[in-house]
């Protein structure tokens, strides 16, 4: 069975030059950095906040904060990792404001018993995503990931959707590498389990289209 | 290798960050344990489906609107002077 490899391949050769120029006040250089990463920041923000307007605010606030604080960027990490750290913090603040009744923290101690051990092991159809049209599939994926705790879905999104390495994810979230790995395993297994109802193979060979109620 | 041990190594296995000996033990386990094989295979598919989903793409019109807003705020900040926060 082949392994999964991160896909992020942003060119970094000229990135430091852009950052240096932006530090001296070159807004055009900073705009290049915005163009390079705005889609990623929006996706991360919407995954965390689960709200389109909040995600739009996060994109603006995160880039403005990055511009304001460029002087603090030392170049020891990638600019993108530094930016993601700012964006995640902005997104979590939005989420806390919107859901004050729920504790939202990346440090929240997740249950240590085997709460994510697979309960239902069902094989999937060969190409499960092809049972649904694009809009249906996006709806299923969106509602499924929304059910995960913020700390799990944030790690999953950075690591598996955006392709940051485990170490970069740990740095962006200010978590230890073992903490990232533990949350990532749980996030992956919980998503898998929740997707069973939509993707599992039926005994009689029919494909299961789920009931639309996760 | 027990199923619980397999599960503990699943993330390292899928990410390809595992030593050869452990990898061989995991793959031997997969040969005879159908449940773990299915968990491994469907977890891998879960990751691929999310990665390829184009969930939350930024539409072009919104993208340019956000970029203009960011740029004008940066310019305003620049006029306010260095470190103008």
pLDDT tens digits, chain A, 214 residues: what are they? 656 654 454 555 688 999 999 999 899 999 999 999 999 999 999 999 999 999 999 999 999 999 999 999 988 889 999 999 999 999 999 998 887 656 566 665 555 445 556 776 788 888 888 889 999 999 999 999 999 999 999 999 999 999 999 999 999 999 999 999 999 999 999 999 999 989 988 765 444 455 444 4
Contact across the interface for B49 and A141, Cβ inside 8 Å: yes
Q: Would A3 be classed as within a structural domain? A: no
Q: Count structural domains, chain A.
A: 2
Q: Would A39 be classed as within a structural domain? A: yes
Q: Which of B46, B62, B66 minimises the CB distance to A191? A: B46
Q: Would A109 be classed as within a structural domain? A: no
Cβ-based neighbours of A60, under 8 Å, separated by 6 or more? B66, B69, B70, B73
Please report which confidence band the pLDDT of residue B84 belongs to, taking 50, 70 and 90 as the band edges.
very low
* Cβ(A150)–Cβ(A28) below 8 Å: no
C-alpha torsion sign, points A4, B55, A185, A176 = positive
Q: Is B16 on the interface with A (CB under 8 A)?
A: yes
Please give the ipTM for the structure prediction: 0.89
* Secondary-structure percent of chain A, ordered helix, strand, coil, rounded to 5: 60, 0, 35
Q: Are residues A21 and A86 in the same domain?
A: yes
Compute the nearest-CA separation of A3 from chain B (Å).
5
Q: Helix, strand, or coil here: B81?
A: coil
Contacts of B45 in chain A (CB under 8 A): 124, 128, 199
Q: Would A40 be classed as within a structural domain? A: yes
Angle between helices B3-14 and B20-32 (to 10 degrees): 120
Q: Return the pLDDT at A204.
A: 56
Q: Are residues A64 and A138 in the same domain?
A: no
Could you give all domains of chain B from N- to C-terminal order, each with its CATH number?
A: 3-79 (1.10.10)
Q: What is the CA radius of gyration of chain A?
A: 19
Report pLDDT digits (tens) over A64-110: 999 999 999 988 889 999 999 999 999 999 998 887 656 566 665 55
* Cβ-count burial B8-34 (b if 16+ within 10 Å, e if not): ebbbbbbbeebeeeeeebbeebbeebe
Cβ-based neighbours of B46, under 8 Å, separated by 6 or more? A188, A191, A192, A195
Block residue for tokens 């994810």: A169
Q: Would A115 be classed as within a structural domain? A: no
Q: Is B15 on the interface with A (CB under 8 A)?
A: yes
Q: State the count of interchain CB pairs (< 8 A) between A and B.
A: 144
Compute the nearest-CA separation of B44 from chain A (Å).
7
A55, A76, A98 — which closes off a domain? Answer: A98
Q: Would A118 be classed as within a structural domain? A: no
Mean pLDDT of B14-28: 94
Q: Which of B7, B57, B83 minimises the CB distance to A117? A: B7
Residue A178: CB atoms within 10 A of its CB come to 10
Q: Residue B74 is inside which H or E element, if any? A: helix B60-79
* Residues spanned by the domain of A81: 15-98
Query: B62 burial class (0-12, 13-18, 19+ CB within 10 angstroms)?
Result: middle
Contact across the interface for A185 and B47, Cβ inside 8 Å: no
CA–CA distance, A127 with A112 (Å, rounded to integer): 33
- List the CATH number of the domain containing A162: 1.10.10.10
Specify the pTM.
0.86
Q: Return the pLDDT at A121.
A: 79
Q: Are residues A31 and A76 in the same domain?
A: yes
CA–CA distance, B31 with A22 (Å, rounded to integer): 55
Compute the nearest-CA separation of B81 from chain A (Å).
10
Q: Return the pLDDT at A213.
A: 47
Block residue for tokens 């404001």: A97
Q: Would A6 be classed as within a structural domain? A: no
Angle between helices A166-173 and A177-199 (to 10 degrees): 110
- List the CATH number of the domain containing A62: 1.10.1740.10
User: Nearest to residue A186, comparing CAs of A92, A85, A111?
Assistant: A111
Residue B73: CB atoms within 10 A of its CB come to 17
Contacts of B2 in chain A (CB under 8 A): none
* Cβ(B6)–Cβ(B33) below 8 Å: yes
Report pLDDT digits (tens) over A108-123: 555 544 555 677 678 8
Q: Would A9 be classed as within a structural domain? A: no
Q: Are residues A55 and A94 in the same domain?
A: yes
Q: Return the pLDDT at A113.
A: 47
Q: Return the pLDDT at A114.
A: 52
Answer whether residue B18 shows pLDDT above 50: yes
């Amino acid at each position: 069975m082949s392994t999964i490899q991160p896909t992020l391949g942003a060119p970094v050769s000229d990135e430091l030059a852009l950052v240096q120029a932006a530090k001296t006040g070159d807004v055009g250089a900073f705009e290049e950095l915005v163009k390079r990463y705005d889609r990623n920041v929006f996706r991360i923000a919407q995954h965390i906040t689960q709200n389109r307007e909040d995600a739009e605010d996060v994109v603006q606030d995160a880039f403005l904060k990055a511009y304001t604080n460029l002087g603090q960027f030392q170049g020891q990490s990638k600019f993108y990792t530094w930016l993601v750290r700012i964006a995640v913090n902005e997104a979590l603040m939005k989420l806390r404001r919107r859901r004050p009744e729920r504790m939202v923290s990346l440090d929240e101690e997740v249950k240590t018993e085997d709460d994510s051990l697979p309960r239902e092991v069902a094989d999937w159809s060969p190409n499960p995503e092809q049972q649904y049209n694009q809009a249906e599939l996006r709806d299923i994926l969106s509602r499924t990931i929304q059910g995960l705790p913020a700390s799990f879905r944030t790690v999953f999104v950075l690591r598996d959707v955006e392709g940051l390495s485990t170490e970069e994810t740990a740095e962006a979230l200010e978590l230890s590498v073992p903490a990232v790995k533990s949350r990532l395993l749980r996030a992956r297994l919980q998503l898998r389990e929740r997707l069973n109802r939509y993707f599992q193979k039926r005994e009689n060979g029919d494909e299961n289209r789920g009931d639309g109620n996760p | 290798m027990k199923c619980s041990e397999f599960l503990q190594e699943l993330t390292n296995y899928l990410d390809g960050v595992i030593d050869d000996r452990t990898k061989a033990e995991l793959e031997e386990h997969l040969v005879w344990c159908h449940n773990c094989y299915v968990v491994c295979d469907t977890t891998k598919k879960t990751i691929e489906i999310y990665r390829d989903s184009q969930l939350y793409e930024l539409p072009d019109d919104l993208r340019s609107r956000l970029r203009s807003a960011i740029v004008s705020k940066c310019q305003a900040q620049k006029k306010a002077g260095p470190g103008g926060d």
